[in-house]
Amino acid sequence: MPRPHSTPAGVPERLQKYLAQRGIGSRRAIEEWIRAQRISVNGRIAELGVKVTQHDDIRLDGRPIKVRASAAAQVFIFNRSAGDPLRETDGDRAPLIDRLPKAAGRRFVAVSPMPGIDGGLELVTSDGPLAEKLQRALHKLACEFSVRVKGQLGPDQLEGVRSGKLDRPVRMTIEALTASEADLEGSNRWYSVVARGASGKDIRQLFERQGVLVSRTMRVAIGGVKLDKSLSRGQFRQLEDDDIAGLLKPPAPQSADP
């Protein structure tokens, strides 16, 4: 049986569909409540056909309706250790996706996954159309990576990284590049890179193109979604509707003052 179409978070949808997807009641029952003038939206009696988002104040008989994340918002982030399989592999180690609740879906799609030898922030969803939208949106988002290399980059190598150029055409913009003085590991050094339009594979290749040995690349942020100390390695959490809306519709860059 085909799965019903779902609306991405942050996109206005009909009130009865919005509430039904979030387990408040059947569409037919909710339509009856609307006809009986039992539901209000932002202080006004709701009418059939009105569209809402998670930002609207929706009340039933004067009481706020508390809704859970919609089925369309079944998006999770993992803090993946390097080498841990995210999806099914031929190895003996169970994939991280197996840890997700069964109610969230049967088949998950990884959005711009990091190379298997690397890790960090991974984004997965069981909603295929939403995964495609997120994949397209990621090309417009600034992502932050931590890269561990052997030795220290020289001025020409730093300039090569900042250029964002690879041997193949890639629309990649490097917005920031800094070396961490606090995370020295013997002869290794960590660099923080903020890039737009770059995958984890692109970032690794960008550093290797400068003639350095890259031992690890970790993604630590995608737009406004970041890894923090509350999410241990191998653990996951579900994104809120606001997080997903921010990924799908990132704020427009502010123009510089004249």
Helix (H, G, I), strand (E, B) or coil at 79: strand
Q: Is residue 174 part of a domain?
A: yes
Do 104 and 214 lie in one domain? The reply is no
Do 20 and 50 lie in one domain? The reply is yes
**pLDDT higher at 241 or 32:** 32
CA dihedral angle for residue 233, residue 172, residue 147, residue 207, rounded to 10 degrees: 140
Q: Is residue 258 part of a domain?
A: no
Q: Cβ–Cβ contacts within 10 Å for residue 25, how many? A: 15
pTM for the predicted model, two decimal places: 0.69
> What mean pLDDT comes out for the span 200-212?
95
Q: Is residue 186 part of a domain?
A: yes
Total of domains in the chain: 3
Q: Is residue 1 part of a domain?
A: no
Give the burial class of 209: count Cβ atoms within 10 A of its Cβ; 0-12 exposed, 13-18 middle, 19 or more buried. middle
Whether residue 104 has pLDDT greater than 70: no
Look up the CATH number of the domain holding residue 82: 3.30.70.580
Q: Whole domain around residue 164: which residue ranges? A: 142-222
Task: Please give the pLDDT value at position 35.
Answer: 94
Of the candidates 92, 130, 127, the residue with the CA atom closest to the CA atom of residue 106: 127
Task: Please give the pLDDT value at position 73.
Answer: 56
Whether residue 113 has pLDDT greater than 60: yes
For the ranges 20-29, 35-44, 62-71, the lowest mean pLDDT is seen at: 62-71
Per-residue model confidence as pLDDT tens digits over 77-98 = 999 998 888 877 655 677 888 8
Do 35 and 155 lie in one domain? The reply is no
